[in-house]
Amino acid sequence: MELFGDPAVWLPWTFAALMGVSILIYVILDGFDLGVGLLMPLADDDEKDRLVASIGPFWDANETWLVLAIGLLLVAFPPAHGIILTALYLPVFIMLVGLILRGVSFEFRAKAPIAQKPKWNAAFFVGSLMASMSQGFMLGMYVMGLTWTWAHVGFAMLTAIFLTVGYSFIGAAWLIGKTEGRLQSHAVRWTKGGIWGLILGIGAISLATPFVSIRIFDKWFSLPEALYLAPLPIVSAALVAYIWWELRNLPRSDDRRAWGPFIAAATLFICAFVGMAYSFYPYVVPEKLTIYESASAPESLFIILIGTLWVLPAILGYTILSYYIFRGKASDLKYDIQEQVANEEAT
């Protein structure tokens, strides 16, 4: 444990990094599948099935990253977990209801009587909307230091809308890569329509963050620290410009660079996240509690870390395996021989 110096310093740092990576992976992965859910009302009935099929094999594992992130907050920084979640009691509740509605709708829309399908499609959309809005709201409240004032709630409402549009944007970008034909053309249109959400969202948080505290302001606007941060806005601007340019040429008949917008969008999320992490470090509850003050006992963190070093590569490995197995354009999801038989007889 003494290998890297004081374990009360490097262990909390390592866990903060692990938690950060989990949140980031969650935001990108569940971001696109929540986004696909948000696009449901824009799609016609056949497209709806294809939309769901494009995320069917992945959504469950994607949400597990949220459980891991919240689990790491819980196990590594218990006091912070308590403060953050009691402060965000209501939005957390709304998010949970959203995730419940959405998760069960995946199954019910395919298994309930056909007459109920529109209802479950609606529940799928509403669930995705509740989850996205509440996550955006929590993001805004977190940036504002978790205090409930009218101004903060107003700001959080804005970030709720921006993140939701941002999710629909990355969801649409996922669909460009994952679909073909008419739906792919629609996806290009939806991606164009959603990009402003991401730009405004990143912009709003970037404008607000330095004014939350003098400490962050100094980190941003005093030399040489400002230079460390400088690549982020430059890279972000370049990515937005690339997406804008690429979308004008998509979809191509040979499907070249169909994954470009998604990869660029994911990179944008990474830039925004790195900027936030850099600004708020070392605080886990903004300006109140640092990761070092709230960390669990080193011996407990160490026993988790040993397991993590073995298990995390395996998780990443079989997650990649799963994306590899389900590569290519989305096709209808079926594991039901009887539906197959019915379909064959119908044709």
Partner 1 sequence: MGTLLLSRIQFGANISFHILFPTITIALGWMLLFFKLRFNATKDRKWMEAYLFWVKIFALSFAMGVVSGITMSFQFGTNWPGFMETVGNVAGPLLAYEIMTAFFLEAVFLGIMLFGASRVPSWVHTGATFLVAFGTTMSTFWIIVLNSWMHTPQGYELIDGVVHATDWFAIVFNPSMPYRFVHMLLASGLTVAFLIAGVSALRMLWGDTAESVKSALRVGILTAAALIPLQIFAGDMHGLNTLEHQPAKVAAMEGNWEIGPNIPLVLFAIPDQETRSNKFEISIPNGASLILKHKADGIVPGLNDFVAEDGTILHPRVSAVFFSFRIMIGVGVAMLALSWAGVVLLRRRGAGNMPKLVLLAFTGMTFGGWIATLAGWYTTEIGRQPWLVQGVLSTKDAVSDVPAGMVLGTLIAYLVIYLALIVAYISVILYLARKASKGQPLSKRDYPRGGEAEVYAMQPGE
Is residue 189 close enough to count as binding partner 1 by CB under 8 A? Answer: no
Nearer to partner 1, 241 or 311 (CB): 311
Among 10, 13, 20, 64, binds partner 1 (CB under 8 A): 64
One-letter amino acid for residue 262 of the chain: F
Is residue 326 close enough to count as binding partner 1 by CB under 8 A? Answer: yes
Nearer to partner 1, 270 or 315 (CB): 315
Both tokens of 342, joined, read 């019915």
Q: Which positions from 70 to 89 touch partner 1 by CB under 8 A, shown as an x/- string?
A: xxxxxxx-xx-xxxxxx--x
Query: What gap in Å lies between CA 195 and CA 234, rounded to an integer?
Result: 17
Query: What gap in Å lies between CA 224 and CA 214, rounded to an integer?
Result: 16
CB 35, CB 171: distance < 8 Å: yes
Q: Give, in order, the Cα–Cα distances in Å from 277 to each of 21, 143, 272.
A: 10, 11, 9
Residue 49 Cβ vs partner 1, minimum distance, rounded to whole Å: 13
Tell me whether residue 223 is exposed, middle or buried, using C-beta atoms within 10 angstroms of its C-beta: 0 to 12, 13 to 18, 19 or more.
exposed
Among 8, 230, 234, 297, binds partner 1 (CB under 8 A): 297
Candidates 184-192, 240-248, 250-258, 324-332; binding stretch for partner 1 (CB under 8 A): 324-332
Query: What gap in Å lies between CA 175 and CA 187, rounded to an integer?
Result: 6
- For partner 1, the binding residues in 95-154 under the rule CB under 8 A are 96-97, 99-104, 106-108, 111-113
CB 186, CB 42: distance < 8 Å: yes
Among 208, 273, 300, 329, binds partner 1 (CB under 8 A): 300
CB 45, CB 270: distance < 8 Å: no
Among 44, 253, 254, 335, binds partner 1 (CB under 8 A): 335
Is residue 6 close enough to count as binding partner 1 by CB under 8 A? Answer: no
Q: Which of 42, 322, 23, 328 is nearest to 171 (CA)?
A: 42
Nearer to partner 1, 101 or 258 (CB): 101
- For partner 1, the binding residues in 196-255 under the rule CB under 8 A are none
- For partner 1, the binding residues in 21-60 under the rule CB under 8 A are 56-58, 60
Is residue 164 close enough to count as binding partner 1 by CB under 8 A? Answer: no
Nearer to partner 1, 19 or 199 (CB): 19
Find the helix or strand (DSSP H, E) in which 256 lies: none
Among 20, 185, 312, 329, binds partner 1 (CB under 8 A): 312
Q: Which of 138, 136, 142 is nearest to 159 (CA)?
A: 136
3-state secondary structure of 304: helix
